[in-house]
């Protein structure tokens, strides 16, 4: 029997949690479909850039960052040099990106002062520099190192754009849902649609297309640590597949209008919708959670279907 689904594995950092962000920022904007990679066990550093708070991760000069990325696509690395003692003059540095001991990219750059600052200390950060690495299909274990500089470190923002998403994605509004939950993600407001264990979210689509689903398990005060859950999907009221997921409380995303619940870290999956008009339904299954918040996107070009 022909399968209607194909699983989509998102990018992660070592020991790996993922976050997909739909926010766009100047001098480091993420395109629709980009995945923001966040390392577990590493605290993010908020930089203030053109009035926006943007998450970066600090790579010290004597250390390294490791990432695991699944699949093919473009890895876009934005770097801002940490300026010691508030230095403003141009400073050279080299960013090495390696896989399995093989250097994929050795990117040398110069950076001087900019209007970007570290929010917590107001210390200056250098101008943004960008390097892109194309990844072939498969499993990638990447290592980042800073070389050729006297600077104490560099701030990195790593975005993965999976192959096949270059046409862009458009969010869609479901037919029915339990409620709308508005997430505050880096000062941007993103609407999610809530499904419970007995209240479905239903979406009407005209295929063929690939539907991308972002999910956030909702945590009540009693839920701590990693939590397992599943999102069960049906096509035209016929059960199709349950997507088994694992998440934990988000540390930096909140709901604007639902203070009693805390969103989990975002987990993403995708499924293929066959030709014709269909209604897809989603329910929360298993685990301690009482509800899950969902966001749906389809390729912009598929809006022409039907």
* Digit-coded pLDDT (tens) for 154-171: 999 988 877 654 447 788
Q: Which of 27-31, 103-107, 209-213 has the lowest mean pLDDT?
A: 27-31
101-115 average pLDDT score: 87
Q: Where are the domains of the chain?
A: 12-162, 169-304
Q: How far apart, in whole angstroms, are the C-alpha atoms of residue 206 and residue 208?
A: 7
Residue 187 pLDDT greater than 80, yes or no: no
Residue 196 pLDDT greater than 60, yes or no: yes
Domains 12-162 and 169-304 share a fold: yes
Residue 129 pLDDT greater than 60, yes or no: yes
Q: Which residue has the higher pLDDT, 8 or 161?
A: 161
- Name the pTM for this structure: 0.50
Q: Which residue has the higher pLDDT, 24 or 243?
A: 243
Going by pLDDT thresholds of 50, 70 and 90, the confidence category of residue 88 is low
10-31 average pLDDT score: 32
What is the percentage of the chain residues whose pLDDT exceeds 70? 83
Residue 16 pLDDT greater than 60, yes or no: no
What CATH topology corresponds to 12-162? Jelly Rolls (2.60.120)
What CATH topology corresponds to 169-304? Jelly Rolls (2.60.120)
131-157 average pLDDT score: 88
Residue 145 pLDDT greater than 90, yes or no: yes
């Amino acid at each position: 029997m022909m399968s209607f689904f194909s699983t989509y594995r998102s990018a992660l950092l070592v020991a790996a949690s993922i976050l997909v962000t739909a926010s766009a920022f100047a001098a480091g904007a993420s395109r629709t479909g980009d995945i923001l990679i966040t390392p577990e066990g590493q605290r993010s550093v908020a930089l203030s850039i053109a009035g926006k708070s943007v998450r970066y991760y600090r790579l010290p000069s004597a250390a390294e960052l490791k990432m695991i990325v699944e699949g093919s696509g473009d890895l876009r690395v934005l770097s801002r040099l940490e300026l010691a003692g508030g230095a403003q003059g141009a400073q050279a540095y080299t960013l090495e990106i390696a896989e399995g001991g093989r250097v994929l990219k050795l990117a040398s750059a110069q950076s001087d002062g900019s209007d970007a600052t570290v929010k917590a200390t107001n210390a200056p950060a250098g101008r943004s520099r960008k390097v892109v690495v194309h990844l072939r299909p498969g499993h990638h274990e990447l290592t980042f190192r800073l070389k050729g500089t006297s600077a104490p470190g560099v701030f990195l923002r790593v975005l993965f754009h999976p192959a096949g998403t270059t046409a862009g994605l458009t969010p869609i509004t479901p037919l029915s849902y339990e409620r709308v939950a508005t997430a505050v993600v880096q000062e941007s407001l993103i609407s999610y649609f809530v499904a419970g264990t007995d209240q479905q979210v239903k979406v009407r689509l005209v295929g063929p297309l690939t539907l991308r689903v972002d999910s956030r398990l909702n945590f009540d005060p009693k839920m701590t640590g990693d939590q397992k859950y599943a999102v069960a999907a049906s096509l035209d009221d016929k059960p199709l597949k349950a997507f088994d997921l694992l998440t934990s409380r988000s540390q930096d995303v909140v709901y604007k209008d639902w203070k009693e619940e805390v969103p989990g870290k975002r987990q993403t999956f995708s499924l293929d919708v066959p030709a014709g008009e269909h209604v897809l339904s989603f329910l929360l299954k298993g685990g301690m959670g009482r509800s899950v918040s969902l966001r749906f996107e389809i390729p912009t070009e598929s809006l022409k279907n039907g």
